[in-house]
Amino acid sequence: MAGRRWLIAVSLFAAVSVFAQDRDADPLVTTALSNKRAYETLSYLTDEIGPRPSGSANAAAAVKWTTEQFRAWGIDVRTEKVVVPHWVRGDERARLVSHNNQKIVLTALGGSTATPPQGLTADVVEVNSYDELKQLGTKVKGKIVYYNNPMDMDLVHARHSFEAYSRAVVYRGTGASRAAEYGAVAALIRSVGSASLRTPHTGALRYDPKQPKIPAAAMTIEDAELVHRLIARGERVRMHVVLTPKTLPDVESANVIAEIRGTEHPEEIVLIGAHLDSWDLGTGAIDDGSGVAMVMETLRIIRESGLRPARTIRGVLFMNEENGLNGGRAYFANHKNEKHVAAIETDAGAAAPTGFNTTLKGEALYRVIDMTTILKRVNAHRFEYAAQTGADTSFLIESGVTGFGLVPDPLHYFDYHHTPADTLDKVDATLLAQDTAAITALAWVMANE
């Protein structure tokens, strides 16, 4: 009964509190839902600028254009230096010399070293785990190690796509160095995606400085399954692989930081963030052009409304999320002494919003739930605890800042993510507006709480 009385008291408080927040958040959400400006922003980023890998001219163009846009909208904006790696994809092709020279479609993993220019030819050994690799040991010497690492599609269909991804992607990150430890000459993985029409899926690897750096690539699901079938039939599989990526000198790039200063506590910051860089294969529409569009449109809507938040709402367009996190790191180095009330990251696509992940638990979480009933308007009022709510904001989170991560329906996210098919047509303007409304609403509430 004591518990029940307490609940009623909290609810009454919450109802009053929510009303106060909703009064201003409501017209902002209405504005977000009633236009397609976020989609127009995304269209420019993807159709006109195109892929935005770190260090590229396109990434620089994206920094320039987004800065100009904020300025044109009357929003305070600045850039802050971020030094980024500059890895450039080259030729990438492979064929099965053991099987009639059948073509193998693959793509180099981000950061991979090159094969000799004329390629390398070696037998392919398949393993399903690092345990299996360890058992084989030096038997993989001189060979290509193929990690057969399918995504768990049951998890994907149950909407735990990111968990399925995390499990499968382990081999992308560390597989090359683990194989190199036993003398392998190259490493291959199965593309970490939930759909394929012979579609390669890239992403960064991380070399262990103690091991030789060997080239690494992801075969499409079709090609990975072909190699698997041939090996399962007991056949010797020998592959010729050509990968000619280059790592050029580091490039000076930037985070773009725009903000609307708070009226009462300008020194308290509600950060909304997304990343401006993308992989090179597609145009980064879902990863993370749509997040950038949400952040930009949120600030534009607030600016246009004439409303001023009590705390500062700061939009950060991070550089180099995909292959280094140097933007997130640089932001933290520059701003760790400022008071961040919340860090809201959006880097999970632009499907229908469902809610947010958050580092909050218990009473603090329930309080936010009570304050944010406005999110029901866009079906984004589900909050779930997560230790990590975003990559660029992870440095802030680890230092104790409250984190939020937008959760669009994840069912199809990994159908497109990191592939050539991550293009504007995968984004629905109405759903993107709903996601934008969710970011706007949460940011506004957190800035006026």
Please state the closest distance from residue 280 (CB atom) to a second copy, in A.
9
Quick check: is 321 catalytic? Answer: yes
Closer Cβ to a second copy, 35 or 174, answer by number: 35
Residues in Cβ contact with 208 at an 8 Å cutoff, skipping those fewer than 6 apart: 174, 177, 178, 180, 181
Closer Cβ to a second copy, 81 or 198, answer by number: 198
Question: Could you say which of 259, 297, 321, 345 is catalytic?
Answer: 321
Please state the closest distance from residue 13 (CB atom) to a second copy, in A.
49
Closer Cβ to a second copy, 96 or 344, answer by number: 96
Please state the closest distance from residue 281 (CB atom) to a second copy, in A.
8
Closer Cβ to a second copy, 221 or 437, answer by number: 221
Closer Cβ to a second copy, 105 or 256, answer by number: 105
Please state the closest distance from residue 229 (CB atom) to a second copy, in A.
6
Residues in contact with a second copy by CB under 8 A are 43, 47-51, 58, 61, 99-103, 105, 195-199, 221-222, 225-226, 229-230, 282-283, 415-416, 419-421, 423-425
Please state the closest distance from residue 348 (CB atom) to a second copy, in A.
19
Please state the closest distance from residue 421 (CB atom) to a second copy, in A.
4
Closer Cβ to a second copy, 154 or 425, answer by number: 425
Which residues are tagged catalytic?
321
